[in-house]
Amino acid sequence: MKDLTKGNVFKLIFLFTLPILLGSVIQQITTFVDSIIIGKSIGKEALAATGEVFPFIFIMVSLVTGISYGANILLSQYYGANNEKTVSKIIQTNMVFLFISSLLITFLGILLCPIVFEMMNVPKDVMPYAIIYTRIYFSGIMFMLFTNTIQSMIRSMGDSKTPFYFVVASNLLNILLDFILVYWLKLGIYGISLAVVLSYFMVFLGLMYYFFKYQKHIKISLFNMRFDKHLFYQAFKIGLPIGLQTLVLSLAMNFVFSIANNYGTNAVAAYISGGRIDAIMFMFAMDISMAFSAFVGQNIGAKRYDRLKKGIFAAIVICSVPVLILTGASIFAGSSLIGIFTNDLEVIALGKRYLLIVGSFYLICSTTYIFGSVFNGAGRTILTLISTIIGWWMIRIPISYYLGKAIGVEGIWWGVSAQWVAEFVFILTLFYIGKWKTKISLKNI
């Protein structure tokens, strides 16, 4: 494990972030390969089904993953304070919580998916594929939750390399199983969903073995887990806003899509294509802010507040280099970027305008994520939830709706940019008046 409270700040954050970024790139490649295999080998109905199910999965696990993330923020703070006893309690409490909640999610996901898909108006030819995929996926949801959480725990204690190795293993297994189960055994949608579950299961076993075998400085027994109500309450207070933020975000995204639908297929295609370029920016911003949250948590726990400003500057510099390159490409080569996804000239023209308007604000958006990670690392997650509500529901949606009516689809593009500016001003203001400093008390428990 890496102590993030000592050493050169820039070097620490860069080296800690690098494996996380490489892991995200590998995951993006796996998603791309999966889409090709599904679309080419099974058909468009199966491809559509895998897209339809993820909003449902996203909502079902959002609160659990949020609370678990809250526990990991606590973990980084107590680890930075060298309180191994409480670190062990947090890990045990989080694992007990995950085990119980994942059983409930499995049951509800398998039971409710047909009802939810009916409510979502999933096309009839897609429905059977969606139900099969979802039920198999939820049968292994426990392995996914534990895999992601244990990786986050390890990162919170300063080790980003080990989770990277497991991310690589998981994605390589997924691709290998795709070829075996779909191409060789011809299992179709069953094969795709089984590949996901089996890859998570195998990596879950490896992670559990590693965690309990090699984390010797943390005294934990797999068969003697204890649940600490007080620590869970602390994690719940921190993590609930993160889970709610996910719910708010997913609902808002669906609302904006409904606005874009009013402008026709070309507008939606341009919005989605532009969003794929945005996703590259978000990958850098989110991964660097995730790494920085662990840095913030450990240094707050160690009361090394002097390192935070240096850390913010280092994180912004590290993030700004790839984001500025992407900004330049979006402004000056927007047509070529959109052309990767479509040959339709009208979609390319609309997408070019999207990237010209939205791409100009990438640096503001990514910087907001860095400052937001200070609040998350300090346990002040309610403020990032408020920022999301303001940005999406008070700025982006009204501007997209009313400006869209006034000037057309470009009003939606300006709504995106206005949201990022609003969140940037809100978070930066709170940071400079010191709201992030009201943190979780680090008393011995």
Considering the domain architecture, whether residues 160 and 283 belong to the same structural domain is answered as no
Residues 179 and 61 in one domain: yes
Same domain, 211 and 99: yes
Q: Can you tell me the distance from the alpha carbon of 181 to that of 176, in angstroms, rounded to the nearest whole number? A: 9
Distance (Å, whole) CA 51 – CA 236? 30
Count of CA atoms in the C-beta half-sphere (13 A) of 183:
10
Q: Does 442 reside within a domain?
A: no
- Count: domains in the chain: 2
Q: What is the pLDDT of residue 117?
A: 80
CB 252 within 8 A of CB 393: yes
From 205, 227, 249, the end of a domain falls on 227
* Structure token pair of residue 79: 């680890």
Classify residue 445: in a domain, yes or no. Answer: no
Q: Within this chain, do residues 163 and 80 fall inside the same structural domain, yes or no? A: yes
| CA–CA distance, 374 with 289 (Å, rounded to integer) | 9
The sign of the CA dihedral 304, 309, 312, 317 is negative
Task: Tell me the torsion sign for CA atoms 359, 431, 16, 99.
Answer: negative
End-to-end CA, the chain: 23
Task: For the chain, state the CA radius of gyration.
Answer: 22
Q: Token digits for 45?
A: 């109905």
Cα(20)–Cα(18) distance, rounded to whole angstroms?
5
Contact 377, 76 (CB under 8 A): yes
Residue 315 identity (one-letter amino acid): A
Interval 308-344: pLDDT, tens = 888 899 999 999 999 999 999 999 999 998 887 677 8
Residue 437 confidence (pLDDT): 67
- Is residue 22 domain-shared with residue 150, that is, in the same domain? yes
Q: Looking at the structure, do residues 59 and 157 belong to the same domain, yes or no?
A: yes
Helices 161-178, 9-37: axis angle to 10 degrees equals: 10
Distance CA 168, CA 171 (A): 5
Q: 320 with 381, same domain?
A: yes
Whether residue 143 is contained in a domain is answered as yes
What is the maximum alpha-carbon separation in the chain? 63
Residue at which a domain ends, from 202, 227, 252: 227
> 244 and 304 share a domain?
yes
CA–CA distance, 157 with 298 (Å, rounded to integer): 8
Do 97 and 285 contact (CB within 8 A), yes or no? no
Same domain? For 188 and 88 the reply is yes
pLDDT tens profile 40-87 = 677 766 765 666 677 678 778 888 888 888 888 888 878 877 888 888
Per-residue pLDDT of the chain (445 residues; tens, 9 = 90+): 566 677 788 888 888 888 888 888 887 777 767 766 776 677 766 765 666 677 678 778 888 888 888 888 888 878 877 888 888 888 889 999 999 999 999 999 999 989 888 876 676 777 888 899 999 999 999 999 999 899 888 887 878 788 888 988 988 998 899 889 988 888 888 998 899 999 999 999 999 888 877 766 566 766 778 898 998 988 888 888 888 887 787 777 767 767 776 787 678 778 777 887 888 898 889 889 888 877 887 787 777 877 888 889 999 999 999 999 999 999 999 999 888 767 788 888 999 999 999 999 999 999 999 998 888 777 787 888 899 899 989 999 999 999 999 998 899 999 999 999 999 999 999 988 877 665 444 443 3
Do 164 and 17 fall into the same domain?
A: yes
Same domain, 313 and 260: yes
Domain edge (last residue) among 227, 249, 267: 227
Is 218 contained in some domain? yes
Residue 205's alpha-carbon distances to 30, 134, 150, 208, 212, in angstroms, are 21, 22, 11, 5, 11
Whether residue 321 sits in one domain with residue 249: yes
Handedness of CA 151, 251, 254, 375 (dihedral sign): negative
Structural domain for 426, as ranges: 239-437
- The verdict on pTM exceeding 0.75 is no
Burial 176-196 (b: 16+ CB within 10 A, else e): ebbeebbeeeebbbbbbbbbb
Q: Are 293 and 80 in contact, with CB atoms under 8 Å apart? A: no
Sign of CA dihedral 189, 258, 284, 67: negative
Taking the C-alpha atoms of residue 368 and residue 430, their distance in angstroms, rounded to an integer, is 12
**For 357-400, what is the HEC assignment?**
HHHHHHHHHHHHHHHHHHHHHCCCHHHHHHHHHHHHHHHHHHHH
